[in-house]
Structure 1
Amino acid sequence: MSTTIATAAAPAGKKRAKMTDRSRAENRLGQRLVLPAVIVMLVVTAWPMIQALYLSLFRYRLTTPDDKEFVGLSNYGTVLTDSLFWQDTLNTVIIMVVTVAVELVIGFAFAMVMHRIVFARGAIRTSILIPYGIITVVSAYAWQFAFSLNNGWVNSWFEWLPWITADTNWFGSHWPAMFAIMVSEIWKTTPFMALLLLAGLSQVSEDMIEAAKVDGATWWQRLWKVIIPNMRAAIMVAVLFRALDAFRIFDNIYVMTRGAQDTESSSFLTYRQVIQQFQLGLGSALSVLLFLTVLLLAWLIVKTFRVDLAQARGEA
């Protein structure tokens, strides 16, 4: 037994196999296909990004435009030492982690249903995707009405639960308000997660699943040992897209709470500094920090999943 384990573990210590000619060709093709989009994005976004970075170095308020003063990194120090910034960042992280985790589970279940069902497949797939087609502001207003104290249906429908009564005020304290915001976000974007996972699920070989059945693997064993490992790339893409989108949440909070009950997110704090208080310097520093945080988050997700596309094709 020890010999077998040693033999199986030996390749793990070896260096990664050299890139094949097919992989090099695909990389070159991918770079050529992406280059036009990258150029357009740089043309559209480069100037606003440079302008935001420039303004973040000044004490600049729109109400006193002649009082513009260079302060270097002082705005960043003000932001990073403010407890409100860290509280809003914590709110954002909580919303992101909870919503993405719940959406991943429910979205995977929806993807399994859409993948396996035969009768009325097109109608079922369309109906599942309807929430994602609704404008975010509209869905946020709908959920605000659903959770409202006087006219909402959530209290009356779920009054049988011990922690919900007819007088439950969802927007009267921090955690109930956060729960309402997260429910609205999950309802709206779970179909997007399901759509990405469905694309990955369709790439799992049916022969591998049938072989696992022949070997006596249970449904759970087939799920954890065959299906999910072969969907690793699709799961990474789904989690990456949704995590970055959830980290920039703004619409739901603006509509449902306006940031009350300590429900502000990082994006809402930036909006409040720039639009409501006219603090272009501090607002620009917040937007730069938000951009850097999103980049760091994307890097962490990619590194965590460690998807090797060449290995997935059996080339490594």
Structure 2
Amino acid sequence: MLLVTAYPIAQAFYESLFKYRLTDPDAREFNGLGNYAVILTDGVWWQAVAVTVLITVITVAVEAVLGFALALVMHRALSVLRPVLRTAILVPYAIITVVSAFAWLYAFDINTGFVNQWFSWLPGISEDTNTFGSFGPSVTVIILSEIWKTTPFISLLLLAGLAQVPEDLQEAAKVDGATWWQRMYKVTIPNMKAAIMVALLFRTLDAFRLFDNVFIMTQGANNTEVVSFLAYRQTISRLEIGLGSAVSVLLFLSVVLISVVFIKLFKVNLASARGEG
């Protein structure tokens, strides 16, 4: 873990302290926190953060609802059907992200796509609609592709949580006359709080580091640039190693902050949830 995680993070932080462009290595000079000051006072950074937060909040919220619904279906399905359902639901998640992104790009592309032709009867859609020509439609497709691909991930984690809910509590609630909604709110959800926290946390961290779909579909055009793509553009496209490393460090700190907030918000004792204490 130290070799594959701690060292790259430490190296990125070290590089972020220098004014360093790869095309001019001899001009490298110590800049302290100057790169961070440049980034945090630049509107491009805050625009990328806003887009990243928007995509993250919408995708995770929708995926949590859909994933929980799918988990309930798989949990209540007949034992004969469970393997078939799990396999069918996992198909999108099994597809490589880049392949999935290209599929959504080709489906909505104005030249190669079939969506415009098939859904031209809907208001606002015609055969000449350029989905990737403005911010709203572009972000919508990115969000839809994320939801389609990663909802199975949340559903499997929540399915594992549903399996941990004691059946005797459910039966006791039925005997007491509790409705389905009351059992869900009073028994099911409280007893799978740890699974919900893990599912939402992992998915939020993954969504906040979104890169592939933006890179394939828009290349950051129409103000769809996210934080990960901003780090890529600074480091790879502009060869600004110092600025790119600073963006990467800020992204890492954001992920750490999100983790802390989730753990504090849910107040889940994971050791207790695992039965260790």
The aligned counterpart of 1:220 is 181
Query: 2:39 & 2:84 partners in 1: Cα distance?
Result: 49
Q: Does 1:176 align with 2:137?
A: yes
The aligned counterpart of 2:30 is 70
Query: 2:176 & 2:120 partners in 1: Cα distance?
Result: 48
The aligned counterpart of 1:53 is 13
Query: 1:248 & 1:313 partners in 2: Cα distance?
Result: 28
The aligned counterpart of 2:220 is 259
Query: 1:315 & 1:292 partners in 2: Cα distance?
Result: 30
The aligned counterpart of 1:33 is none
The aligned counterpart of 2:53 is 93
**1:198 counterpart letter in structure 2:** L
1:140 aligns with one of 101, 104, 111: 101
**1:125 counterpart letter in structure 2:** R
Cα separation, partners in 2 of 1:84 and 1:213, compared to 1, 3 Å:
same
Deviation at 1:160, TM superposition (A): 4.2
**1:186 counterpart letter in structure 2:** I
Deviation at 1:159, TM superposition (A): 3.6
Of 162-171 and 247-256, the range deviating more from structure 2 = 162-171
Query: 2:23 & 2:109 partners in 1: Cα distance?
Result: 37
The aligned counterpart of 1:268 is 229
Cα separation, partners in 2 of 1:207 and 1:246, compared to 1, 3 Å:
same
The aligned counterpart of 1:235 is 196
Deviation at 1:218, TM superposition (A): 1.5
**2:94 counterpart letter in structure 1:** G
Structure 1: gaps spanning 5 or more residues: 1-40
Query: 2:276 & 2:95 partners in 1: Cα distance?
Result: 42
Query: Residue 25 of structure 2: SS of its match in structure 1?
Result: strand
Query: Residue 66 of structure 1: SS of its match in structure 2?
Result: helix
**Structure with max Cα Rg:** 1
Deviation at 1:212, TM superposition (A): 1.4
Query: 2:171 & 2:129 partners in 1: Cα distance?
Result: 50
Q: Does 1:106 align with 2:62?
A: no
Query: 1:275 & 1:312 partners in 2: Cα distance?
Result: 43
Structure 2: gaps spanning 5 or more residues: none
Cα separation, partners in 2 of 1:141 and 1:312, compared to 1, 3 Å:
closer
Deviation at 1:213, TM superposition (A): 1.5
**2:7 counterpart letter in structure 1:** W
Query: 2:275 & 2:228 partners in 1: Cα distance?
Result: 42
The aligned counterpart of 1:201 is 162
Cα separation, partners in 2 of 1:47 and 1:309, compared to 1, 3 Å:
closer
Q: Does 1:151 align with 2:112?
A: yes
User: In the TM superposition, what whole-angstrom CA distance separates every residue of 1:160-205 from its partner, at most 9, and x where no partner exists?
Assistant: 4334333332101001100000111111111100010000011111
The aligned counterpart of 1:189 is 150
CA contact (8 A) 1:170 1:177 kept: yes
Sequence identity of aligned pairs in percent?
63
Cα separation, partners in 2 of 1:255 and 1:207, compared to 1, 3 Å:
same
Query: 1:131 & 1:149 partners in 2: Cα distance?
Result: 24
TM-score, normalisation: structure 1: 0.83
CA contact (8 A) 1:230 1:312 kept: no
Aligned residues: 276
TM-score, normalisation: structure 2: 0.95
**2:218 counterpart letter in structure 1:** T
